[in-house]
Structure 1
Amino acid sequence: MGFTSEFGRRDLVKRTAAIGLISVPTMTALSACATGGGDDTKQVEKGKKSAKNPLAVNESAGLDVVIFDGGFGDEYAKAAQAEYVKAFPKTDGKIKHSATQKIQAKLAPRFNGGTPPDLIDNSGAEQMDFGTLVSKDQLTDLRELLDAPSLDDPNKKVRDTLRSGVLEMGQFEGEEVWVLYYAYTIYGVWYSKSLLAKHGWEYPQTWDEMLKLCAEAKKQGIAGWTYPGKYPYYLPFSLYPFIAKIGGRETLDAIDNLEPNAWKHDAVKAAFEAYHELQAKGYILKGTPGLDHIQSQVAWNEGKALFIPNGSWVENETKKTTPKNFDMGVGAPSSLDSGDKLPYGTIWASGGEPFIVPKNAKNPRGGMELLRIMLGTKSTQNFIQQVSSLSSLNGGTEGLRLPPGLASAQELWKKAGDNVVNPRLQDWYVTLQKEKIGVAALGEMMAGRMSPKECMAKCQKFADETAKDSAVKKYRHK
């Protein structure tokens, strides 16, 4: 793809002064040991298929579930498991549930030993690499679940109840669906509506307005931005849709496809220079490079910074420190200038909390059935109320009073319409996205230790290395 387009304000941005490191496991142990076979697996016998049991679940077999214990916690999963026991009373007392943040460390040995759980929420900083799992034939194709009747309406298949784009996120090549994303995450620039209103400020719809607001806030002793400096792969939550807005969807597609010059696009240059300007002008909260996600969110809750790039899980994750009058809101990336390819309001929204059913699980049908239950209205509404997030079920909010952040996120998503982007780098190439581009490139630039030009070169170098690595399975947009 050739990148020759020019952007009006790009040169103006040049008026600027020109996680600790988190290790993301690459599952080398799994790559070396997993054989991908399932011949020796002693799976439970199938049950009798019926209208109430369309997946032919063994009605007395146990179920082994592992949930990532992050911003959403695990209570929503426990509630769904209780519904599973109601549907299959003979499983009472046979549901093994565990929650952890150490997904890779806890589960790689189980995959290697051929005894993985039946259902896994493969999320967090230590999530297992999906590309490796798929290429090593470690996952169950979920199309049987997707083609089963939905819990609420037997005349509708599960696949027909999902939000747009969710099913495709679980595909890597071909028609198989290996991952089902349960949450539906709205990414963007999060802020306190009450704090802006207190000072008579409005959310900036252009980058010039953003810089002007940050300058005014600085005079008031308030930083413009903060972010998890220890885990700077949060920055793309607002930076990637900013790049797409400037240069069009094809810019992100080229990045996802590991194309040779993807990170040299004018839109990437403009976006990097804009974000670097925040750092160069002192609009980033002092000490941010040393903050983790919780510390940065607490500082934001305390009004020390106006904006933070994040996903819609942030409302639940910060509920203990968010003041009652905070009135959380989320904004779309500001427009760079009139040359932007996509309109203001363009956002990144996509499935979150990726669930997988291992191929060598003892009770894979039970794992799929629990997912079917979770995608019913009752479990979805419980999830929404408990964790302030939408689910991948297209609906479920009817009759619910949404908290401020989630109400703002849903409004933002509705206004975006078709202008929703979904970068795939974070699920196709986990290590590249988090450890390399996120920490070693963007983190260094935003800490003031690397120029935008150097950051672009570093990102391209990392992408090229991944593209040439024969051990890494490659994926492309269709």
Structure 2
Amino acid sequence: MGSTSGEHTTTPEGIGTTSPEGVGTTSPEGVGTTSPEGVGTTSPEGVGRRSLIKRSVALGLVSVPTMSFLSACASSGGGGQEKAKAGKKTKQNPLGVNDTAQMEFVLFDGGFGKEYAQDAVKIYQKDFPKAKVKFSATQKIQSTLQPRFNQGNPPDLIDNSGAEQMDMGVLVSRNQLADLTPLLDAPSYDDPSKKVRDTLRPGIVEMGQFDGNPVWIMYYAYTVYGVWYSQKLLDSLDEKYPETWDEMLKVCEKAKKKGIAGWTYAGKYPYYLPFSLYPMIGKVGGREVLDAIDNLEPNAWKHPAVKACFEAYYELYKKGYVLKGTPGLDHIQSQTAWAQGKALFIPNGSWVENESANVIPADFDLAVSAPSGIDSSDKMPFGTIWASGGEPFIVPAKAQNPQGGMEQLRIMLSEASSKNFTTKVKSLTAFNGGTTGISLTPGLKSGVAALEKAGSNVLNPRLQDWYVQLEKEKIGVSGLGEMMAGRITPAEAIKRIQGFADETAKDTSIKHYKHQ
């Protein structure tokens, strides 16, 4: 099942905001947004689900591959190309890059632009002045590179994102990707005493894995999911962000009396609701509840934590705290109403800052928080949040110069390159840092603060990466969407969603994944 969204990439399918495919950000479906899946996904209405969620602000969708690509992946692929002879490993060259071999890098030409990658290429050329770097950018990743995978002569490094993202699950299952463990175990570019893996944000390594230890994908961007709001509007109510559900209902009641809805969301694409609902379930019941859901375990959706959180969200509907007409709004319309102060809270990903920049007032004071919990009996502390990678980079197994491709990634995961990326595209990277000394936008600053508060309590549900149709169409639209519109009860929604999960678990045509 491809990579992800968001995203967004990220957005679930967007292209345009901060998403891998977006021009700017990529939201789950927007053209021009960056959604959680935004890395290569195709949204119901967008040009592809950049998966997941999933480009990113950064940070994060997964497009459905054509049969020709599946066929190409199924083949052994031409005669292949000869590998460049590896160079000698030294302190300055820990991966053993051949300093005279050409390195080819193909970037997705989307919302993050090309400049950050071109800047990193310049560092590679400085470090290996005898080597030629062939750099190109395209929005047509699959149609451009599919024939080359088939012929056995793919590039050395690929940003596999956008509406034409190649299906990660297919690439992995056909042994077409190089294991990136040598990169992760190499000394970091900045500090030889640290391995690259020790400099990465929580969950990045695991996101690149499919069924076990090899790491096939390096997600470069990083998205923060949660409840977004205007600090100015919250202050005007003389309230702080609510940490428990009783406090949430109190804040929403106060807002309602002022003519402001407590919540809105992308009603047409209710798979936005999990951006705050899933980490709430994890907070209440522990991360093992989300793992069981991801693993499609029998009765996973019937856990008491799921029931408590579904009933809590349903209470927003029952008490009239959801903006009238929300079930009929798309992501842009709901974000616009929220930015106009018609609703206080909205579940979303960090791409929303870039995606809604044209409607968010200058004095809005954008902020994000981890979801409220139920009460003090929750298994995880307040601050538990969902954050994950977007913008997937891969090194093909048949690359001529795989060491060069990994070295380019090692450079990109340095503090300087990370700062450069964050400064230019308003998005965090997989590098755990890179924000000191640079001016952050309000949303980005708040996202960094939320991550610092979370510490190790960062969750990364994989359902949207592993089972796109289940997550978006069944759980999102037929389950949560119907519940929040008041057409089914929480108990009915749970029964319906568990049935969808059981069907997916029994479907032998679907590749199944599990947390290790």
Q: Secondary structure at the match of 1:94?
A: strand
Unaligned ranges ≥5, structure 1: 1-18
- Partner of residue 214, structure 2: 176
Give the partner amino acid of 1:395: G
- Give, as a single letter, the amino acid of the residue that structure 2 aligns with 1:272: F
Query: 1:215 and 1:109, CA in 2 relative to 1: closer, same or farther beyond 3 A?
Result: farther
1:477 paired to 2:515 = yes
Residues 250, 157 of structure 1: alpha-carbon distance in 2 compared, 3 angstrom cutoff? closer
Indicate if the aligned counterparts of 1:55 and 1:369 stay in contact, CA closer than 8 A.
no
* Aligned-partner SS, 1:355: strand
1:60-459 alignment to 2 at 5 Å?
61=102, 63-67=104-108, 69-70=110-111, 72-89=112-129, 94-99=134-139, 111=149, 117-123=155-161, 128-361=166-399, 363-459=401-497
Equivalent position of 2:15 in the other structure: none
Bigger drift between 437-446 and 269-278 goes to 437-446
**Would you say 1:48 and 2:106 are equivalent positions?**
no
Structure 1 window deviating more from structure 2 (352-361 vs 340-349): it is: 352-361
The one-letter code of the counterpart of 1:335 is G
Deviation at 1:244, TM superposition (A): 1.1
1:140 and 1:285 mapped to 2: Cα distance?
Answer: 48
Q: 1:36·1:137 contact (CA, 8 Å) conserved in 2? A: no
Q: Structure 1 CA distance, aligned partners of 2:109 and 2:474?
A: 23
1:177-205 deviations in Å (ceiling 9; x for gaps) = 11112223322111111111123232111
Going from structure 1 to structure 2, the CA distance change for 1:275 and 1:90 (only over 3 Å counts) comes to farther
User: Aligned AA for 1:296?
Assistant: S
Query: What CA RMSD, in Å, does the superposition of the two structures yield over aligned residues?
Result: 3.0
In structure 2, the CA distance between the partners of 1:442 and 1:68, relative to structure 1 (3 Å rule), is farther
- The code of the aligned residue for 2:194 comes to K
Q: Distance in 1 between matches of 2:106 and 2:188?
A: 21
Decide whether the 8 Å contact of 1:222 with 1:305 is kept in 2: yes
Q: What secondary structure is seen at the aligned counterpart in 1 of 2:74?
A: coil
Identify the range of structure 1 (285-294 vs 253-262) with the bigger mean alpha-carbon deviation: 285-294
* Aligned AA (1:183): A
State the partner residue of 1:34: 73
CA distance in 1, matches of 2:113, 2:273: 23
Deviations 1:60-97 (CA, angstroms, capped at 9, x unpaired): 52524232724x45543343234334444566683111
Distance 1:444 1:387, change over 3 A: farther
1:124, distance to aligned residue in structure 2 (A): 6.2
Higher relative contact order (CA 8 A, sep 6+): 1
Report the CA distance shift for 1:117/1:319 in structure 2 as closer, same or farther (over 3 A): farther
**2:446 maps to amino acid:** S
Using the alignment, how far apart are the partners of 2:100 and 2:276 within structure 1?
Answer: 45
Check the 8 A contact 1:123/1:353 in 2, yes or no.
Answer: yes
Calculate the TM-score normalised by the size of structure 2: 0.79
> With structure 1 as the length reference, what TM-score do the two structures score?
0.85
* Alpha-carbon separation, structure 2, partners of 1:432 and 1:379: 37
Query: Residue 184 and residue 399 in structure 1: after superposition, are their counterparts in 2 closer, same or farther (change >3 A)?
Result: same
2:54 — aligned with what? none
Q: 1:168 to 1:324 in 2, by over 3 A?
A: same
CA separation of 1:225/1:349 partners in 2, compared to 1, >3 Å: closer, same or farther? same
Partners of 1:268 and 1:66 in 2: CA distance:
40
Asked if 2 retains the 8 angstrom alpha-carbon contact of 1:116 and 1:358, the reply is yes
Distance 1:408 1:180, change over 3 A: same
**Alignment partners' CA distance in 1, 2:453 and 2:174:** 40
Bigger helix share: 1
Aligned to 2:387, the other structure's residue is in SS state: strand
